[in-house]
Structure 1
Amino acid sequence: MAGVVVISETIVRPESYEDGSDRVKIHLTPWDLFFLRTEYAQRGLVFPQPDPKTRIISRLKSSLSVALNIFYPFAGRLVKLDHGDDKTAAFFIDCDGSGVKFVHASAMTVSVSDVLEPANGTVPDFWRGLFPANGVLSCDGVSESLIAFQVTELKDGVFIGYGCNHMVADGSSFWSFFKTWTEICSTGLLDRKKIPPLPLRGWFLGGIDYPIRVPISETTVSPVGVVSSSLPDLHKKIFRFTSRNISELKTKANGEVDSDDRKISSFQAIMAHMWRSIIRNSDLNPEEVIHCKIAMDMRQRLNPPLEKECFGNVVGLATTSTTAGELLNNGLGWAALEINKTVGSQTNEKIRVFAENWVKKPKIPNRLVENNSLVVASSPRFNVYGNDFGWGKPIAVRAGPGITGHGKLLAYPGAEEGDIELQSCLSSHVLDKLLGDAEFLLYVCV
């Protein structure tokens, strides 16, 4: 890739792993298998330039080795079991210590400003070259590392890109791991005696045999199903909501809602504003059915609840559905209330019923982002800017190639406290109209 030169590619293994010691098998749930055909989720963080005397690559690799000793599932591999008798396959994670991919690269013609503010607002040619898992699918985890990192030294900074198999971990687990890695790197030695054992997801439905068998037809990948972020009609844009914008939207949404028992949250107000604005500029038939899907952490919604720190993928999609006409004929408060109701309906009973029905007839989507759907992932609660490897906190976080498509939004905290940043992927004709929509721009910084 022009501008990015790979210097080395190695495998980093857990520090004290011994073959067969403490080997763990992790069974996969319906929510894990849901991601089987999707690309690795890829993100990147921009860091300031460290002191030239700092040997960042050796420090990062040695501290990563220690971190993998704690978050050992990342160092494992998927195992696929083929069952010819009924034409099904099953998957599980073998925590065998195989290690993770670590790439060291250089891009001395690329500056931090090139990454943060690319010319003409388009995705730069060097962009894909900053990430280590382009085109890798979750099902490829049988041979590919379940998480991969690439450290690229820029002209005036450092870019750390990663790709993560979503079947293995969700955002909560990843950022917990990342925080641990940065602390080990910045402080040096870590007293592992003070670190509690990694809490694994211990919840399974009664009456379900693991590993879950899935029809072979549901595990094969259609080329049509893999959505590439390089499609010419898709454009990325970052929208920032200041704490003042957020407060105004929340007040407006709650003011339009005649309900004493339901209060619209800040995030629900933002999502309602984005949803209505995107649909208003999409030229859809009023009868067209549309969806707003928000990724939700289900750990505390189960009964009994899981530990907040439990490792794994425990994310479900809370899906609000309506028609384009109904969404636009009602106000911000109505849309936010519909989202609020959907979020509130994600109960232990509903989650269990979904899983029980899914196991009876497994259905794995070819892609997660579909037409007329807004899909919201990540979270403004993730402590992105609290991570420091020892030479400064991140300047910014950016979405990389991977799971994408028209209507994909990633939510992150803003660099300024109280702000929320939405990284969007939209069709060019919708984005062009959105950028000229005065009602939308009233609450948004582009």
Structure 2
Amino acid sequence: MVDIVVISDTIVRPESYEDGSDRAKTIHLTPWDLSFLRTEYAQRALIFPKPDPETHMISQLKSSLSAALKIFYPYAGRLVKTHNEDDETASFFIDCDGSGVRFVHAAAVTVSVSDVLRPDNDYWSEFFPANGVKSWEGVSKPLLAFQVTELKDGVIIGFGYNHLVTDGASVWSFFKTWTEIFSTGRKEFPPLSLCGWFLGGIGYPVRVPISETVPSPSPSHGLVAASTLQKKIFRFTSRHVSELKAKANGEVGGSDNVSSFQAVLGHTWRSIIRNSGLGPEEVIHCKLAMDIRQRLNPPVEKECFGNMVGLATTTTTAGDMVGNGLGWAALQINKTVGAQTNEELRRFAEDWVKDPKIPNRLVVNNSLTVAGSPRRGGSTCMEGGAHAPYKFYNFCL
């Protein structure tokens, strides 16, 4: 445990909309959004040096956040659930009502940045503002929450966001805008572009069976509750990443088809399986959350706001994983990513609408799930045996 004192817990609302800008009042949710209904808020943290006291950090953070929320207005809304009694289904949408986001100011004056970065740090959750909050709770809780904790020699900004509303790409776009407002005072930005993607010929809001919108009473067979997982933190240096990429591509013919990220992921997956004690015939999976904006045809705008995340799954056996090298493992991931075509993504969405299934926030046995990839702008968080930041000062929970 660490001694953290909460100084204030407030709601920050967007600046008033007196400029006559045209903003969406309601945002309907797609299959990509709704599949996150039972997940917990995604949580990340950024670490900064201790600022000069003359900057009045907290007041400036709040005022610049208010200005950023005027641009990224969906974050300040709330989730709305409608019960369709005619067929016992539920529908969801985002009401952009300006209710605001949560802002916690805290202090841990006996804790240093080096303490926080220690691999055996077991008090991560205390720096985050949305522990255990499920996406469906956005009907009453803020869709975005921050906790600014002042340390002895630095500051941690931990934050959690509702994955029904946004993905990592949109979150980091928001952070870049907020940073610029804080640093320069600039407030003139292009209006927010919503992704606006929806299946042609499919009506919305999408109707989901009531049974799929409530928490499951107990874990299903073959599933492990996320709360039982151990957390491990480790780092890949630039040199290590380069060496892994060179080794992987060398093993597959030196064609440079394997990316740095795929090489690191292949290495991590192989390491987990080698130490798992699984039999050679057991089936294993690697599930990679990935940005699909540019994979649709026609593609949606690269910087559009929303949640455009698909799940690419690579499947093999423990025997094949152990019996083959790094290049083979990384190439399997590479092929899976390449198979995420417009046709495959649309097929998933069409099938999902016909029979909506919303998974629990659980981890399937023998499965490595990777989210928050740096290819989408964030850190790499791995579940099912590891919990790893890919960038040293950017953590996920």
Q: TM-score, normalised by structure 1?
A: 0.82
Deviation at 1:53, TM superposition (A): 2.1
Which structure 1 residue ranges, 5 or more long, are not aligned? 385-396, 416-420, 426-446
Aligned to 2:349, the other structure's residue is in SS state helix
Partner of 1:221: 215
Counterparts in 2 of 1:16 and 1:175: CA distance versus 1, 3 Å:
same
How do 1:172-187 residues align onto structure 2 when only pairs under 5 Å count? 172-187=169-184
Deviation at 1:381, TM superposition (A): 4.1
Deviation at 1:24, TM superposition (A): 2.0
* 1:246 matches 2:241: yes
Q: Distance in 2 between matches of 1:295 and 1:128?
A: 23
Q: Is 67-76 or 373-382 further displaced after alignment?
A: 373-382
Partner of 2:61: 60
**8 A Cα contact 1:81 1:89, kept in partner:** yes
Q: Distance in 1 between matches of 2:217 and 2:55?
A: 44
* 1:27 matches 2:22: no
Partner of 1:155: 152
* 1:236 matches 2:232: yes
Deviation at 1:326, TM superposition (A): 1.5
Q: Distance in 2 between matches of 1:217 and 1:309?
A: 35
Determine which of 349, 357, 374 is the counterpart of 1:355: 349
Partner of 1:436: none
Partner of 2:78: 77
Partner of 1:134: 131
**RMSD over equivalenced CA pairs, Å:** 2.6
Determine which of 289, 292, 295 is the counterpart of 2:289: 295
Counterparts in 2 of 1:217 and 1:132: CA distance versus 1, 3 Å:
same
Partner of 2:122: 123
Deviations 1:81-135 (A, max 9, x none): 10122111010111111110111112122222221126xx1413xx322211112
Determine which of 290, 314, 322 is the counterpart of 2:316: 322
Partner of 1:100: 101
Q: Distance in 1 between matches of 2:380 and 2:330?
A: 27
Q: Is 73-82 or 149-158 further displaced after alignment?
A: 149-158
AA at the equivalent of 1:277? S
Partner of 1:274: 268
Aligned to 1:235, the other structure's residue is in SS state coil
Deviations 1:407-432 (A, max 9, x none): 455553356xxxxx9x799xxxxxxx
Q: Distance in 1 between matches of 2:260 and 2:383?
A: 25
Aligned to 1:413, the other structure's residue is in SS state coil
AA at the equivalent of 1:71? F
Deviation at 1:161, TM superposition (A): 0.7
Deviations 1:9-32 (A, max 9, x none): 111111014799845211111111
Partner of 2:110: 109
Partner of 1:365: 359
Q: Distance in 2 between matches of 1:340 and 1:358?
A: 25
Deviation at 1:42, TM superposition (A): 1.0
AA at the equivalent of 1:406? G
Q: Distance in 2 between matches of 1:179 and 1:39?
A: 24
Counterparts in 2 of 1:161 and 1:238: CA distance versus 1, 3 Å:
same
AA at the equivalent of 1:377? A
Q: Distance in 1 between matches of 2:50 and 2:244?
A: 37
* 1:196 matches 2:190: yes
Q: Is 18-27 or 133-142 further displaced after alignment?
A: 18-27
| Structure 1 runs of 4+ with >6 Å offset | 18-21, 226-229
* 1:412 matches 2:390: yes
Partner of 1:389: none
Aligned to 1:43, the other structure's residue is in SS state strand
Deviation at 1:289, TM superposition (A): 0.9
Counterparts in 2 of 1:383 and 1:85: CA distance versus 1, 3 Å:
closer
* 1:144 matches 2:144: no
Counterparts in 2 of 1:411 and 1:105: CA distance versus 1, 3 Å:
closer
Aligned to 1:239, the other structure's residue is in SS state coil
**8 A Cα contact 1:44 1:162, kept in partner:** yes
**8 A Cα contact 1:38 1:138, kept in partner:** yes
Q: Distance in 2 between matches of 1:368 and 1:410?
A: 18
Q: Distance in 1 between matches of 2:388 and 2:121?
A: 18
Q: TM-score, normalised by structure 2?
A: 0.92
**8 A Cα contact 1:286 1:324, kept in partner:** yes
Deviations 1:310-357 (A, max 9, x none): 001101111000111111112222211111110000000000000000
Paired residues in the alignment total 393
Partner of 2:278: 284
Identity of aligned residues (%): 67
How do 1:199-210 residues align onto structure 2 when only pairs under 5 Å count? 199-210=193-204
Deviations 1:169-210 (A, max 9, x none): 11100000011101101112x242xx2111101221112111
Aligned to 1:89, the other structure's residue is in SS state strand
How do 1:253-264 residues align onto structure 2 when only pairs under 5 Å count? 253-257=248-252, 263-264=257-258
**8 A Cα contact 1:236 1:424, kept in partner:** no
Q: Distance in 2 between matches of 1:28 and 1:168?
A: 8
AA at the equivalent of 1:100? V
Partner of 1:37: 38
Aligned to 1:3, the other structure's residue is in SS state coil
Counterparts in 2 of 1:57 and 1:212: CA distance versus 1, 3 Å:
same
Aligned to 1:53, the other structure's residue is in SS state helix
Aligned to 2:37, the other structure's residue is in SS state coil
**8 A Cα contact 1:382 1:413, kept in partner:** no
Counterparts in 2 of 1:137 and 1:352: CA distance versus 1, 3 Å:
same
**8 A Cα contact 1:44 1:159, kept in partner:** yes
**8 A Cα contact 1:123 1:236, kept in partner:** no
Q: Distance in 2 between matches of 1:20 and 1:315?
A: 28
